Amino acid sequence: MRTPIADDVLARILTAAHHAGSVGFMQPWDFVVIRQRATKRAVKQLFQKTNAQAAMHYEGARATLYRSLKLEGIVEAPINIGVTCSRQRGGRHVLGRSTVRDTDVYSTCCAIQNLWLAARAEGIGVGWVSILDHGTLKQVLGIPRPVKVLAYLCLGYVSAFATQPDLETAGWRARIPVDQLIHYEAWGNTIPADRRNGDAPHEGLHENRGDGK
């Protein structure tokens, strides 16, 4: 975990992130690369404060399990990266953003997933620490007010990659069968039309229904 990450490796990872698609080719992301121990320690303090509050949401065995989970590697990881989204980049009218304002945020998340996969290809594990107060984090990293923090990532070489998520292994939550998440033509049709006996294909407009899940 503590093995240093070389500059050329980091450059490949950030270049992969920067080559994510973005709505209107807006490229709204920035990357704050943290290597210094003092900065990591300041962020770790933020985590500890917020996590103490988060842990209080659980009781009994669930609380014990929660406290046993490894939820961050801020100080141990050789590199931390804060990923931001500059919401005003590209000016007032960004192509493709007139109806869905948050497409800049969505694009930045796509860049984060590219970063994640590029790191994995280098043998580097990435942890996303979301148990942080982003307002205070922005002060620590000197991030200007209009810029939104999306993610705080810890990067480090790992001895092995697990075959399933840690939270699944720990029994915190189970994976949902993918079939339950695929709908055909309209929400709620989880069996393809060609396998539904005598059921007419679902076409055209539908009313909103139910409560979701």
Nearer to a copy of itself, 1 or 110 (CB): 110
Tell me: does residue 31 bind a copy of itself (CB under 8 A).
yes
Tell me: does residue 143 bind a copy of itself (CB under 8 A).
yes
Asked if 84 contacts 147 with a C-beta cutoff of 8 angstroms, the reply is: yes
Tell me: does residue 144 bind a copy of itself (CB under 8 A).
yes
Nearer to a copy of itself, 2 or 117 (CB): 117
Tell me: does residue 86 bind a copy of itself (CB under 8 A).
yes
From 38, 61, 160, 200, residue interacting with a copy of itself (rule: CB under 8 A): 38
DSSP string, 107-165: HHHHHHHHHHHHHHHTTEEEEE---S-HHHHHHHHT--TTEEEEEEEEEEE-S---SS-
Q: What is the CA radius of gyration of the chain?
A: 21
Tell me: does residue 181 bind a copy of itself (CB under 8 A).
yes
Helix (H) or strand (E) holding 170: none
Tell me: does residue 48 bind a copy of itself (CB under 8 A).
no
Query: Half-sphere exposure of residue 13, counting CA atoms within 13 Å on the CB side?
Result: 27
Tell me: does residue 75 bind a copy of itself (CB under 8 A).
no
Q: Name the minimum Å distance from CB 197 to a copy of itself.
A: 18
How many residues make contact with a copy of itself (CB under 8 A)? 101
User: Binders of a copy of itself among 95-114, rule CB under 8 A?
Assistant: 95-100, 102-103, 105-106, 109-110, 112-114
Tell me: does residue 158 bind a copy of itself (CB under 8 A).
no
Nearest C-alpha neighbor of 149 from the set 30, 42, 49, 39: 30
